[in-house]
Structure 1
């Protein structure tokens, strides 16, 4: 007997009985029709069109269509699974469950490449033309028991109703032939064979010899049989910790870490190469047309992806997680073919991305995998990835200590990289979330109570502003020439984001929240220097210097250790009004002053632009310089660098030949000179290096402590 496809077997198991009843009715109707035709033949007829036509199968197709419609209306319908089980699944909307994947792997037919693809079609045609479907199905079940008792046992556990047809056929044969004893003996022999085949109550034990044999067959002959067996063993290994492993139809059983590691390493090393041979990847995408066995291969790919996903969920070791993510990256063209598994992998990648136990290497690998998935998967996956990575970053952006700043910075950089792919999707998400921040700020400004202020003055809100600041500064400034379309799309969001940051900085203008204001000023300077958009930051910096904390109030002496403002949004109660706290604030303010002047140091109007700020700084130095001697000297050095830069710009400006009304020429002034090459720019870079060294020292001390 020829081999039978899995789809035919499923149909026989679930729908054959009802279909046979309908065919019997059709046969009776056909017999009546033939009798009528015979009566007509007895009478002479002059109409040449009245000929005895043979059965074309149209009636049978119509009945099957009615069956499909009626079944789809029912609550317990499975006809859609049958129809789509072997169809090409581009969107993966009806992906099979793990039990169905195992059922596909348990199919022990000869599916190797050397088989003739036309044999399946010929066998189906023979089955369709068979006048006695009940007898054929009975023979198939008996042959399946003898040839593949493992699948029979799996079917007996998971779908016992499908075997009732065999019992009914046995009763019919006993009533017709009277040979009930022979039938009972056959059933007992089949049950005995099944019992003998089952090595252990949890499945056949996997050995190293078996794994080596499967690996040789796959590499040498590209055997799909061996590939199925290896995937079944891989499934058992990945579900070792699951409670329902024994009842999930697992054929193989893994015992010991040695066998477990051997199974995992062998599968991950061999299976992707086998998939690439049987279902090749062309130009980074899966070419289904080049695969002659795609119907079979998609079930195998699903099984491998499900097992790999389960392993990712169970692993806690960072090195092992990195290894599995790298292997998952090799399977991305296959993952992108099934939307269900694409969603599952994106969710798992995002979970690992935000896991506190994950290291930097895991997060970078997750970013690379998500970037590839976004390129191959449909737009809904792109939206899911962009939204997921931003929300994951926000959930885990609460700064607890100095060491957590590095992790948050890395997560922010990864999110910014992912937003550089699709310009349209990036703009939509950026617009929605920036608008959301604006709504929160508006509500807080209207209510003006402690609860509304807490909704704004927290690390999640500030780090959200940091995220979108970095996105706009990167793609509208640093990398604008690389992606002009993305720059043109996101550029309109610079103004609303600037207004939000300004509103947050001035919401509670008290000395306790100087650290938060410094964070906001840093964001504005980053945005202004990268995009070239002028933002009036200097007045807000000087507001801090002219606060009563420095001008009229005498600071409290304290022996507290210096405060690291990077990890604080407000001053702790014991630091308020102390000299230690105010000295740290002054150091940060002078660094911001240097950065603000440096960002405008190559502008043609720099000598005139800096005059008001220079006058206020000299006035401040004259009034409180004696109380802050160290900072008075530092401010004197800053003012000298500003004067040197003004002199440099004036010398360059004296050589120009265009008028002040020539805006194009003014914008190109000193275009070849970097702001970091001017005297004030060199001074600002040196201050940034000192702050970076101090921060690194504090991080190391905290990690060691």
Structure 2
């Protein structure tokens, strides 16, 4: 067994030393198979059994000793009679047997008549398959016996309810063996699922010995666990299959609410716990926002209360996030941001356990960057300049920024420096103007680290380098064909969102709207970067070279709107630098005295300082513009829908007008003939008769049973 463990350790070491994205998937595999662990447990139990000798064997050995050596037996009787007096003592096995018998007696006394005779109604069989058909009578019987808190628990009824839930799982489409029961009617199916969700979980927790809501499945005795584990395992397996097959949002949310109090039972079974993690991660990465919120709550409960499953959950969540961030658009970006926040919360539940994995994953990004910097090939650059790596940077920036405010996460906080070096290297890898949006992403990432981790990052130098590229792009005359017909407005157009862009084409760079969007985004980065450092005593020295670079760059700007903004920014920088110098010169400072340093920081952090007042004004205008943009997008969608409706109505009106004109022309022609009036009267009467016949034929639909699975309207009555 030692050899097997060594081999498993070597496999884990090889998995962690991988240098591609596939190594992350290999790291998701746990060391050692479950079959080997079960074999080890069996071997340990067998070895422990060999150490003990039963009472019968002890008596036979004493009898043999009496026959072979009677003199030694007499000596023992005279001197060591306690050794031979074995009748008053019991072996460990007999004591264990007596304990088991006492446990059984106690369980029988506590539970009473659990195995009562079932009074379930008889069911008819399906002639085609021979299975029993669940009807209203059986559903009413289960509701009466399972939902009554005063009634005693009958195991036969619990088994029957679990078998019925197995039939519900098969009806949803799970790939399982045909169950004993079958459900043909949709209302009965809905009622059975509601009953199982409400009742079976609390009953199983009560049987297993769960006492409090906070105490996750505190099993009182091993005997109790062995007795009821098959029932619990069957229900939990069916519950996971049901959740994985259902597509309705309401049903998934309600199923996750039933899983939440059963997390402790899932943790008792290692295989079921792994399957639960897979199901939760699949919902967390692919379903709607409401489903993801509930899945996050269940995952945090599993990670908080059962630390043995934290590593599997952490690795599965990270791999799911990486695989889900291949493409970013306006619809997927809010979901990815929610995944980043929830992953940071799960990580900080156990920062000591998550630190080794975070170190390996950040190191993996650094290896990709190193290979791209050495090789300088397009394929290697493409491994860095993609959404997966950029979203991973956003993820780790959020984790480390949140770890700075959590006690016990000092190890994660130390990863801020290597992550900063990686972001700077990604920004400087390719200086092409096509990847200008990606460099803007890197600048915003560095600003987040600098603001949350209380570290200094030269973000202003990086933004000045980006400003030089923007000046080159704006200096070129735009193509007349690429210019949009819309007037230039302060509101950002709906088609251009730099948050969902990594690179841009040559035709896109010639558009005026795109250039204005880039200038606005860059100005926002400048404002945020200066706002972080404006309360520092070294602000005048820090801004001095930046002010010279801005003054030189403003002369080359050909965009009047952007150059006016940058001039006002440069003016406020100089005013704030003078204000900081005056405040510092008025006071005597001793650097060794911490109280004086804190007093100066509080003075420089005054809200009425020149730059802070300017920043508040700009922030109000920016928020108004963003609010107008969202309302503009909503109005655009509603306008598009109303235009479609108006066009359809216009088409219908035009057709009616054409039909009316044709009818009038035909009637006038008929009136000119001698028998024309009679023909018109006969046509009107025949048309009335046809309308009456159509009304009689078009009867309302009956109450026929719909066999198609439609569960979108579930749980509306309960809510």
- Both structures adopt the same fold (TM-score exceeding 0.5): yes
Answering whether residue 556 of structure 2 is matched by residue 624 of structure 1, we say: yes
Deviation at 1:212, TM superposition (A): 2.4
Greater shift, 203-212 or 225-234, is seen at 203-212
Structure 1 residue 607, shift from structure 2 partner: 2.8
Q: Shift of residue 345 of structure 1?
A: 0.7
Asked if residue 582 in structure 1 is aligned to residue 582 in structure 2, the reply is: no
**SS at 2:536 equivalent:** coil
Change (3 A) 1:512 1:555: farther
Match of 2:400 among 472, 483, 488: 472
User: 1:528 matched to which residue of 2?
Assistant: 450
RMSD: 3.9
Is the 2:174–2:242 contact (alpha carbons within 8 Å) kept by the matching residues of 1?
Answer: no
Which residue is 1:13 aligned to?
none
Question: Does structure 1 residue 450 correspond to structure 2 residue 378?
Answer: yes
Higher mean alpha-carbon deviation, 533-542 vs 236-245, is at 236-245
Output the CA distance in 2 between the equivalents of 1:691 and 1:455.
Answer: 36
**Shift of the alpha carbon at 1:275?**
2.5
For residue 667 of structure 1, report the CA deviation from its aligned partner: 5.6
Structure 1 residue 458: Cα displacement = 0.7
C-alpha deviation, 1:475, in angstroms: 1.5
Matched residue SS, 1:240: helix
Cα 1:581–1:531 change in 2 (3 A) is same
3-state DSSP of counterpart to 1:619: helix
Shift of the 475–463 alpha-carbon distance from structure 1 to 2, 3 Å rule, reads same
Query: Partners of 1:536 and 1:253 in 2: how far apart?
Result: 68
Aligned residue number for residue 648 of structure 2: none
1:584 Cα deviation after fit: 2.3
Separation of aligned partners in 2, 1:667 and 1:565: 39
Q: CA deviation at 1:472?
A: 0.9
Contact kept, 8 Å, 1:111 with 1:224, in 2: the verdict is no
Provide the rounded CA distance (Å) in 1 between the counterparts of 2:175 and 2:315.
34
1:657-696 pair list within 5 angstroms? 657-660=588-591, 662=593, 665-666=596-597, 669-671=600-602, 678-683=612-617, 685-686=619-620, 688-689=622-623, 692-693=626-627, 696=630
CA contact (8 A) 1:515 1:568 kept: yes
- In 2 relative to 1, CA 702–264 (structure 1 residues): closer, same or farther, beyond 3 Å? farther
Distance 1:513 1:687, change over 3 A: farther
Answer whether contact 1:205 1:253 (CA < 8 A) is retained.
Answer: yes
Alignment of 1:575-614 (within 5 A): 575-614=508-547
Q: Does 1:439 align with 2:372?
A: no
TM-fit CA distance, 1:694 = 6.5
Q: Give the one of 251, 264, 271 matched to 2:193.
A: 264
Question: Cα–Cα, structure 1 residues 652 and 271, in superposed 2: closer, same or farther, change >3 Å?
Answer: farther
Q: Which residue of 1 aligns with 2:565?
A: 634
CA distance in 1, matches of 2:160, 2:619: 62
State the Cα distance separating 1:658 from its structure 2 match.
Answer: 2.5
- 1:461 Cα deviation after fit: 0.9
Q: How does 1:305-704 map to 2 (within 5 A)?
A: 305-355=236-286, 358-379=287-308, 381-476=309-404, 480=405, 483-486=406-409, 488-547=410-469, 549-550=471-472, 553-557=475-479, 558-560=482-484, 563-621=496-554, 623-625=555-557, 627-650=558-581, 652-654=583-585, 656-660=587-591, 662=593, 665-666=596-597, 669-671=600-602, 678-683=612-617, 685-686=619-620, 688-689=622-623, 692-693=626-627, 696=630, 700=634
Contact 2:474 2:559 in 1 (8 A): no
Residues 306-325 of structure 1: per-residue CA shift (max 9 Å, x gap) = 11111101100111111111
Q: CA deviation at 1:690?
A: 5.1
| TM-score (norm. length: structure 1) | 0.68
* Alpha-carbon offset, residue 403 of structure 1: 2.3
State the alpha-carbon separation in 1 of the partners of residues 415 and 618 from structure 2. Answer: 28
- What is the aligned length? 531
Distance 1:258 1:287 in 2: 37
Mark the CA change 1:687 to 1:567 in structure 2 (over 3 Å): closer, same or farther.
farther
CA distance in 2, matches of 1:308, 1:608: 64
* Superimposed CA distance per residue, residues 533-579 of structure 1 (whole angstroms, 9 cap, x where no aligned partner): 00001111111222384399433244148532111111123123554
User: CA 1:111–1:541 in 2, change beyond 3 Å: closer, same or farther?
Assistant: same
CA distance in 2, matches of 1:237, 1:111: 33
Within 2, Cα distance between the matches of 1:675 and 1:509? Answer: 39
1:276 to 192, 196, 205: 205
Show the 5 A alignment for 1:73-472.
113-115=110-112, 201-218=129-146, 219=148, 220-242=151-173, 247-248=177-178, 250-278=179-207, 279-282=209-212, 283-289=214-220, 293-355=224-286, 358-379=287-308, 381-472=309-400
Q: CA deviation at 1:48?
A: 6.9
Q: CA deviation at 1:414?
A: 1.6
| TM-score scaled by length of structure 2 | 0.66
For residues 408 and 563 of structure 2, the distance between their equivalents in structure 1, rounded to whole angstroms, comes to 47
- CA pair 445-235 structure 1, distance change in 2 beyond 3 A: same
In 1, Cα distance between the equivalents of 2:621 and 2:556?
Answer: 22
Instruction: Write the distance in 2 (CA, Å) between the matches of 1:492 and 1:433.
Output: 15
- Aligned equivalents of 1:343 and 1:676: distance in 2? 52
Question: How far did residue 670 of structure 1 move?
Answer: 2.8
Please list the CA deviations of residues 144-191 of structure 1 after superposition, one character each: whole Å capped at 9, or x if unmatched: xxx99x9xxxxxxxxxxxxxxxxxxxxxxxxxxxxxxxxxxxxxxxxx
8 Å contact from structure 1 (residues 325, 365) kept in 2: yes
Encode CA deviations 1:405-462: one digit per residue, 9 max, x unaligned: 1121112112112111101122112101100000000000011011111111111111
* Secondary structure class of the residue paired with 2:220: helix
Does 208-217 or 671-680 show the bigger shift? 671-680
Moved more, 234-243 or 663-672: 663-672
